[in-house]
Amino acid sequence: MTDERPTPDPADPATPAADPADLAADGALSPPPLDDRLAAALRDLTPVTPRRPWRDLAWVAALAAAVVTALVLALSLRRDLDALPRAWVIAYGGAWLGAFVVGAWLALVPRAGHVVPRGLAAGAVAAVAAVGFVVAGLTLARTTPRSLVYAPTALEHLWRGAACAGLGTIAALAPLGLGARLLRGAVPVTARATGLGLGAACGAAGGLLLHLHCPITHPLHLGPGHGAAVVVGALAGALLVPALAKEPAS
């Protein structure tokens, strides 16, 4: 059965008056006392600085640029840079740079009106970049008489490719770690996909370093060796971002 009794009307003279003890100085009803646990939790609250995604992207980009520049200066530019087709150098380098910018942007900057980065889109870009750079290296390699040529044996391909993949990964780690920390508390659901995107982006920064430094132009080196920087970076991001971006337990 439903309760059909009318709701008391405060303007009705027959409605009982409020207890004077419950009235504040201005005549309004005073709130009930807080539960002790709620009061303690409110006392422990501290101001939180909101994320500034575009600033975060700028910090990650600046660190990646600093790392790539420092390593190029320490290791030298590739010896065949002037002999390679200029359009190829610019286009291939632009692809590395574009993959970094797009991947980092999707992983760090939410769409307008949202607070969570576009993790699924970042993860999709990571997959495309990982496959794309391996395929591009296998099919679009260019060589010159000044390029480094080695005996094309399986062992040579393996160790030289591993060396370049390791160097590209080293270049990716600092911006990846910074980006993961800047995402702290911002990726409660898509942390692993976001990590894939951010890691692949930072791996692409490592690929740009290899593009500027490594004079080896064999397709089996340029594809798997240099492309592996994106693959390894994506895998590292999938592990690091969920761990480093996790909100600490209170």
In a domain, 47, yes or no: no
Count of domains in the chain?
1
In a domain, 61, yes or no: yes
pLDDT of residue 72: 96
Provide the whole-model pTM. Answer: 0.78
In a domain, 29, yes or no: no
pLDDT of residue 172: 97
Q: How far is it, in rounded angstroms, from Cα 45 to Cα 51?
A: 18
CA-based radius of gyration for the chain = 29
In a domain, 41, yes or no: no
In a domain, 4, yes or no: no
In a domain, 86, yes or no: yes
Regions of the chain where pLDDT drops below 70: 1-31, 34, 38-50, 247-250
For 132, how many CA atoms within 13 A lie in the half-sphere containing its CB? Answer: 15
Collect all residues with Cβ–Cβ distance below 8 Å to 144 and sequence separation of at least 6.
80, 83, 84, 217
Query: What are the pLDDT digits (tens) for 138-185?
Result: 999 999 999 999 988 999 999 999 999 999 999 999 999 999 999 988
The DSSP output letter for 224 is I
Q: Which of 47, 41, 46, 62 is nearest to 182 (CA)?
A: 62
Q: Which of 249, 161, 244, 241 is nearest to 200 (CA)?
A: 241
In terms of C-beta density within 10 A (0-12 exposed, 13-18 middle, 19 or more buried), how is residue 148 classed? middle
Domain of 70 in residue numbering reads as 53-244
In a domain, 84, yes or no: yes
pLDDT of residue 190: 86
In a domain, 215, yes or no: yes
Q: SS3 of 181, please?
A: helix
